[in-house]
Amino acid sequence: MVKYYAYFFSENRNGICESWKECEKIVSGKQARFRSFKTREAAEQWLKTGAVYEIRVKKELEPGIYFDAGTGRGNGVEISVTNEKGGNLLHKVMPRKKVNRFGKHLLDSDKTNNYGELLACKYALQFALKNQIKKIFGDSKLVIDYWSQGLVRKKFVSAETIKLVTAVAKLRKKFEAARGVIGRISGDDNPADLGFH
C-alpha cells in the first residue's frame, strides 16, 4: 500500500514525500510536524489547514475512549487520550501540570513510542473504568494484542516497561471483567492520533 508523508516547517516550507525514508531525511532532528496519509489529497488537506494534528477529516466513530502516542511535533514522544470527537481527556486522569497546552503529555526523552502507546492505554483504561465506558480504541497492534495482555519479550525491553506492562494487564483484566472491549482502529481515523503511524 502506498503512503504519503507530509511534513511542515512553515507556510512556505512544507511538502509531501512518497516514502518514509525520504521524509525522514528532511525532518530528522528538526522542529517539523509530519504525518502519514493513505492519499495525497488527505496529505494536501492537512498541509492547507496548517498541519494541525487535532484537525482531521470528520468520520463517524463509535463512542468510546481513543489513545495514541507519537513524535509528530518533533519534541519527543507525546501521549494522547480522547473521546470519539477528539476531546482531550488526559487532564481528567493525571495532574493538570503534566498536561501540555495541546492537552497531551510529553514523556521523558528516553521513552520510546511503544512505551508511550502503552502508557496512553493505561490512562485510557483508568478513564474508562472510572466513567463506566465500555469501549477503548488504539492503533498499536503491539500494545493491544500483546503488551496490554501481559505478553512481552522481557529480554528486549526495560524493567520500567515490564512494570508498566504488568500494571496495564491488571487494568485490562478488570476492564474486560466489567464487559469492556479494546479494539484497533486505523491511525488515519484515530481522533487521538499524534502524527506518525
* Residue 68 annotated as lining a ligand binding site: yes
User: Residue 167 and residue 145: Cα distance in Å, rounded?
Assistant: 16
Instruction: List residues bridging with 17 in a β-sheet.
Output: 5
In angstroms, what CA-CA distances link 26 with 6, 35, 48? 11, 13, 19
Residue 124's closest CA among 111, 112, 146, 140?
A: 140
Cell of 172: 485490562
* Residue 139 annotated as lining a ligand binding site: yes
User: Residue 121 and residue 173: Cα distance in Å, rounded?
Assistant: 13
* Residue 193 annotated as lining a ligand binding site: no
User: Residue 182 and residue 34: Cα distance in Å, rounded?
Assistant: 27
Q: Known binding site: residues?
A: 68, 117, 139
Q: Known binding site for Mg(2+): residues?
A: 68, 117, 139
